[in-house]
């Protein structure tokens, strides 16, 4: 969840570099920030509560060729300056930044306390520099001490460590991502995500689980944490640019990424047809196929249950990734697990993959980030090609995931070309839909309901998962209490929540369930709801109408976009930052 970034090399403004770089990772956490710079065999630390985006990197431009930085999303311990990273040992000779959770930290902290170590924070992270210090009593080599400390940790983590007496930067990971940036001119960068160092290099090397890297800025060594065995690594060139990860003329990343969907859906559809057909055959031949994801990606999986049923006449099973281990009884070597993740680093998804692999099942990954852990560990993988997604609230990744899953369903029905044609036509219709008048209409509706504290969304078929996704979007950025329901479930309890003026959104297509969902909307209106229809055609059931194209089986992709925009404007009009919702971070790398 947190963002970490470190540098060692020939440049002498390391502090400014890591501060400016970690700003690109603020989507991973923005409770507090900190930096540690090495200068003249001393480690200087600065850390504060709040967002790092307002910090002037030039304040840290003093002579230093080694530094680490951190932007925090709190897990263990509250949001305080003492809990902010970097953490030091008592003498201030070892500095560490950390992402993840050391699950056995209580046991280790008690052990270290008995040996006289004093702790200042409430975090699990603070034990790391103290344990490294303790291991230095057994070895003079800093990297060896870090290795020995890591061998004692339980849980998922990524860390960067440096000491005051050497020019060594050490990184290790198990579960949480770390990527090395390679620059022959400048040295080595190590970060949670690539945008941190994109100003300096687009050449990367990936750490895998259970690996450690040691660098002095001139050379680098990858090894196995447990055995110390060297792990050779290849260099990979990143194809996207830093400009794609910036806001440009938009006020927020979220709006930029919503508006990019007219292009990103077309990129998602541009897949190798032979690969799509291979994956379709794998699903066809599997004895039990499971779709797994978290949050927004989970809703893409849930919608795809309908795609495979309606388009391909094939049954697949959806489970939230965090619940999937309870399904292990149904797994066998002939089973197939399809995992969906924007970041490719989602902890619960990685755990689901481990469960499947323990049973000998194959794993297909649909991800957005090339080289991510999920992509590398899957048996098959497809990229949705959405480009960098920086807003915490996922938008363009969702429609890319839906497009790829729908393509596979069409391939299973031997109608791949029909599916590609439909999705490309849908992308063109979305391009026409996202015009200034349409955006203003949504702003007007946001103005009407911005003071409401409760809001409900209904849908049927693939619009039911989109109703659930709509609730997620509205909740996470505007903090309005929003819930999604299957339209037919209203009379079984939820309709009791409706009062005079309660905003209720109906997601409607032009299909076999249209009559049913319109009847459900009329039921809401009869009980005083202020109804907002997202539909290809106007209906008397709607007090407000947001027209959308008639996209047939791709209606889910079309209907969710007005709600993404509405969520954005509700947040802005309520004075919230839609890019950085409270208590949330972009990549959930802890369980």
Give the active site residues: 2, 586
Beta-sheet pairing, 203-206 with 236-237: antiparallel
Under 8 Å between Cβ of 342 and 297: yes
Q: Is the peptide bond before 80 cis (omega within 30 degrees of 0)?
A: no
Task: Give the whole-angstrom CA distance, residue 41 versus residue 162.
Answer: 11
Task: Locate the DSSP E strands across 310-353.
Answer: 317-320, 336-341
Radius of gyration of the chain (CA): 25
DSSP letters spanning 253-303: HHHHHHHTHHHHHHHHH---HHHHHHHHHHHHH-SSEEEEE-HHHHHHHHH
Residues 6+ apart with CB under 8 A from 522: 540, 541
As a whole number of angstroms, the distance between CA 223 and CA 146 comes to 12
The region, left, alpha or beta by phi > 0 then psi within -120 to 50, assigned to residue 103 is alpha
- For residues 66 and 14, the answer to whether their CB atoms sit within 8 Å is yes
Contact present, 204 and 181 (Cβ < 8 Å) = yes
Q: Give the whole-angstrom CA distance, residue 215 versus residue 180.
A: 10
Residue 570's nearest CA partner among 499, 498, 480, 501 is: 480
At 515, list the tokens.
């009559």
SS3 352: helix
In which region does residue 346 sit, left (phi positive, over 0), alpha (psi from -120 to 50) or beta (all else)? Answer: beta
Give Cα separations from 67 to 89, 211, 309, 360 (angstroms): 16, 21, 53, 43
> Among 441, 445, 450, 395, which residue's Cα sits nearest to residue 571?
450
The phi and psi torsions of 27 (rounded to 5 degrees) equal -65, -15
Phi, psi of 262, deg, nearest 5 = -60, -25
Q: How far apart are CA 212 and CA 416, in angstroms?
A: 43
């Amino acid at each position: 969840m947190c963002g970490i970034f470190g540098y060692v090399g020939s440049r002498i403004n390391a502090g400014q570099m890591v501060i400016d770089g970690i700003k690109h990772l603020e989507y991973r956490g923005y409770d507090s920030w900190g930096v540690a710079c090495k200068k003249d065999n001393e480690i200087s630390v600065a850390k504060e509560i709040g967002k790092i985006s307002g910090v002037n990197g030039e304040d840290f431009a003093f002579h230093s060729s080694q530094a680490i930085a951190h932007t925090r999303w709190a897990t263990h311990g509250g949001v305080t300056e003492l809990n902010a990273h970097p953490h030091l040992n008592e003498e201030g000779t070892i500095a560490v930044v950390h992402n993840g959770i050391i699950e056995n930290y209580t046991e280790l902290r008690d052990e270290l306390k008995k040996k006289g170590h004093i702790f200042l924070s409430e975090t699990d992270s603070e034990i790391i520099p103290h344990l490294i210090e303790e291991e230095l009593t057994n070895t003079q080599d800093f990297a060896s001490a870090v290795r020995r400390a890591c061998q004692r940790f339980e849980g998922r983590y990524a860390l960067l460590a440096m000491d005051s007496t050497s020019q060594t930067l050490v990184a290790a990971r198990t579960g949480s991502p770390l990527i090395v940036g390679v620059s022959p001119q400048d040295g080595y960068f190590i970060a949670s995500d690539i945008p941190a160092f994109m100003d300096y290099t687009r050449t990367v090397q990936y750490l895998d689980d259970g690996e450690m890297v040691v660098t002095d800025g001139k050379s680098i060594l990858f090894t196995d944490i447990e055995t110390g065995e060297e792990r050779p690594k290849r260099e990979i060139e990143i194809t996207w640019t830093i400009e794609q990860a910036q806001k440009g003329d938009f006020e927020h990343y979220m709006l930029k990424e919503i508006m990019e969907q007219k292009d990103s859906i077309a990129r998602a559809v541009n897949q190798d047809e032979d690969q799509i057909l291979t994956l379709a055959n794998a699903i066809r031949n599997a004895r039990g196929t499971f779709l797994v994801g978290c949050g927004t990606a989970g809703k893409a999986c849930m919608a795809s249950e309908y795609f495979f049923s309606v388009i391909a006449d094939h049954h697949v099973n959806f489970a939230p990734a965090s619940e999937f281990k309870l399904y292990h009884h149904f797994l066998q070597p002939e089973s197939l697990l399809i995992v969906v993740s924007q970041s490719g680093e989602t902890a619960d998804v990685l755990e689901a993959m481990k469960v499947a692999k323990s049973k000998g099942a194959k794993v297909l990954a649909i991800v957005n980030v090339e080289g991510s852990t999920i992509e590398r560990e899957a048996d098959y993988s497809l990229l949705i090609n959405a480009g960098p997604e920086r807003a915490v609230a996922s938008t363009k990744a969702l429609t890319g995931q839906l497009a790829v899953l729908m393509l596979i369903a069409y391939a299973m029905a031997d109608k791949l070309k029909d599916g590609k044609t439909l999705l490309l036509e849908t992308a063109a219709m979305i391009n026409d839909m996202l015009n200034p008048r349409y955006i203003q209409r949504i702003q007007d509706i946001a103005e009407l309901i911005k003071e409401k504290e409760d809001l409900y969304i209904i849908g049927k078929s693939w619009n039911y998962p989109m109703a659930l996704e709509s609730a997620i979007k509205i909740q996470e950025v505007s903090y309005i209490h929003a819930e999604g329901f299957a339209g037919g479930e209203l009379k079984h309890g939820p309709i009791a929540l409706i009062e005079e003026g309660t905003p209720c959104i109906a997601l409607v297509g032009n299909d076999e369930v249209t009559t049913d969902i319109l009847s459900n909307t009329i039921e809401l209106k009869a009980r005083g709801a202020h109804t907002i229809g997202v539909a290809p055609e106007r209906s008397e059931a709607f007090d407000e109408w947001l027209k959308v194209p008639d996209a047939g089986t791709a209606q889910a992709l079309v209907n969710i976009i007005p709600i993404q925009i509405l969520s954005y404007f509700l947040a802005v009009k309520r004075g919230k930052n839609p890019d950085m919702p409270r208590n949330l971070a972009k990549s959930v790398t802890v369980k």
